[in-house]
Chains A and B, each alone.
Chain A
Amino acid sequence: MVMNNIFANITLIQVLIMIFALFAWSRAILRLKSKNIGLGELLFWSIIWIAVIVVALFPEIISNLSEIAGVGRAVDLVVYVSIIVLFYLIFRLYVIIDSKNREMTTLVRELAIRDAKHKDISASKIGKRNIRRKK
């Protein structure tokens, strides 16, 4: 009875959110298969996208949660949580970019040291040549 009721009243936005969440989740699983991310990271993304799907199916959950959290409107809670998650992700991105930058500098440095060039030219010769050019 209850289930029927849900599927009967489902809106387009709910469907779209669910499709997107499933798509994003599948990307995460594919990335685990190609070993781009670890198991822990997949778990993190799985929790997020499953939560999105559950909330899309049963929006009442948010209303109950927001009451518990003491946030007036249900939508506000979603926005607050989203912002926190986004901040966390940006911080992680910053850390990753920073470490990549350092790795790149190390690489550039090793290349530079390996390919150091030195021609033995005596200083006096160069001095003379420079003087001649000035004339």
Chain B
Amino acid sequence: MKIFIVIAAYNEGKSISKVVLGLRRAGYENIVVVDDGSRDDTFDSAIRSGAIALRHVINRGQGAALKTGMEYALRNGADIIVHFDADGQHRVEDLDAMINPVKSGKVDITLGSRFLRPVKMPFFRRLTLKIAVLVVWFFYGARMTDAHNGFRVMNRKAAESIEITSDRMEHASQIVEEVRKKNLRFKEIPVTIVYTDYSMQHGHGGILQAFKVFFKMMFRRLID
């Protein structure tokens, strides 16, 4: 089985090589880093650490970058595709538990969840994430404990059928929506998110970002 790990990275020059090397030491070979038009050395860093490096010449957003990586993986014969975080939030140790249900064919996609285990988390982040879970439940009827965890593992069928049209951060909700629409079998797997100082000040706009995503979701429903 050919496993591809897809990492969307935007200005992650400081952490990307550590993440890639961690994955390679654990025995994963096909690591696709999509540099989403970073202004730092993310792209070179990724090459130097031995990843397959792809570069968006213009920043297109995390959803678009993930789709680019998936597209590359699918064209190169991937059987399983993993979405992994670029700033060291996800642990390599959780990968087996995430991949196995997909590998054995029990489910089409596994989604990492931070809330299946007791976890320490800043209050506002917990609140934002819980509200997001409610919104996803309300709109898509998908009961999940953590809809916006970037850790996902899917088989080829799921990767081909999930359509990500939102380029920006709404893609997480859209993936959940697609899972429901396309009747994919899914399972949530408890994972540990590592909150480092680096990841805290990086990549998350907090409650404001969440509101933006919410309104975009609503708007998309009106327009499409």
List chain A positions with a Cβ less than 8 A from chain B.
94-95, 98, 101-102, 104-105, 108-109, 111-113, 115-123, 126-127, 130
Contact = CB atoms under 8 A, between A and B. Distances in A.
Contacts of A119: 47-48, 50
B25 A127 contact: yes
Interface in B28-73: 34, 47-58, 60, 64, 67-68, 71-72
Interface in B1-32: 21, 24-25
B53 A116 contact: yes
Contact of B52 (A95, A104, A108, A118): A118
Contact of A117 (B25, B53, B167): B53
Nearest to A122: B50
Interface of B: 21, 24-25, 34, 47-58, 60, 64, 67-68, 71-72, 75, 165, 167, 223
B20 to A, nearest CB: 9
Contact of B71 (A109, A111, A117, A130): A109
B50 A123 contact: yes
Contacts of B56: 108-109, 111-112
Nearest to A123: B24
A108 B21 CA distance: 27
B167 A101 contact: yes
B52 to A, nearest CB: 4
B68 A109 contact: yes
Nearest to A109: B68
A121 B48 contact: yes
B108 to A, nearest CB: 24
Contact of A112 (B51, B55, B167, B223): B55
B24 A116 contact: no
Contact of B67 (A109, A118, A120, A127): A109
A116 B57 CA distance: 12
Contacts of A112: 34, 54-57, 68, 72
B55 A127 contact: no
23 contacts: A95-B223, A102-B165, A104-B58, A105-B167, A108-B57, A108-B60, A108-B64, A109-B56, A109-B67, A112-B54, A113-B71, A113-B75, A116-B52, A118-B47, A118-B51, A120-B50, A121-B48, A121-B49, A123-B21, A123-B24, A126-B48, A126-B49, A127-B21
